[in-house]
C-alpha cells in the first residue's frame, strides 16, 4: 500500500517537472517569434546581421532554428527525466 502511494507521488512529481519544463520552453517559443519576430520586428530591422535586418531574420530564419533547438532540448531533458523517475522504456 505504501509502495503504491510512493509510486503515485513519484508519478505526480515526474508530471510536475515535465509540465514546468515544457511551460518554460513554450514561453521562449512564444516570445521569440511573436514578440521579436512580429511585434518588435520594425524596430529590430534597424539592426543588421550581415545583409539581414534582424527582425526579418528572426521571422524568416531564426525562429525556425529556435523551434529545432527547443524540441531537441525537450527530447534530451525528458530522456533524463524519464530515467530519474525510472519511467523510461527499455
Q: What is the rounded distance in angstroms from the CA atom of residue 15 to the CA atom of residue 2? A: 20
CA angle at residue 29 from 36 to 56, to 5 degrees? 30
Least distance to other proteins from the beta carbon of 2, Å? 18
**How many of the chain's residues bind other proteins (CB under 8 A)?**
46
CB of 54 to other proteins, least distance (A): 10
The single residue among 13, 19, 27, 31 that binds other proteins, judged by CB under 8 A, is 19
Q: Buried (b) or exposed (e) across 34-56, using 16+ Cβ within 10 A?
A: eebbeeebeebbeeeeeeebbbb
* Residues within the interface to other proteins (CB under 8 A): 11, 14-15, 18-19, 22, 25-26, 29, 33-34, 37-39, 41-42, 45, 48-53, 55-57, 59-61, 63-65, 67-68, 70-72, 74-75, 78-79, 82, 87-90
Amino acid at each position: 500500500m505504501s509502495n503504491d502511494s510512493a509510486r503515485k507521488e513519484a508519478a505526480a512529481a515526474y508530471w510536475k517537472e515535465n509540465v514546468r519544463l515544457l511551460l518554460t520552453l513554450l514561453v521562449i517559443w512564444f516570445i521569440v517569434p511573436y514578440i521579436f519576430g512580429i511585434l518588435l520586428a520594425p524596430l529590430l530591422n534597424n539592426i543588421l546581421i550581415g545583409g539581414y535586418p534582424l527582425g526579418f531574420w528572426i521571422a524568416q530564419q531564426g525562429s525556425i532554428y529556435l523551434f529545432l533547438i527547443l524540441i531537441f532540448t525537450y527530447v534530451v531533458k525528458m530522456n533524463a527525466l524519464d530515467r530519474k523517475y525510472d519511467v523510461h522504456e527499455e
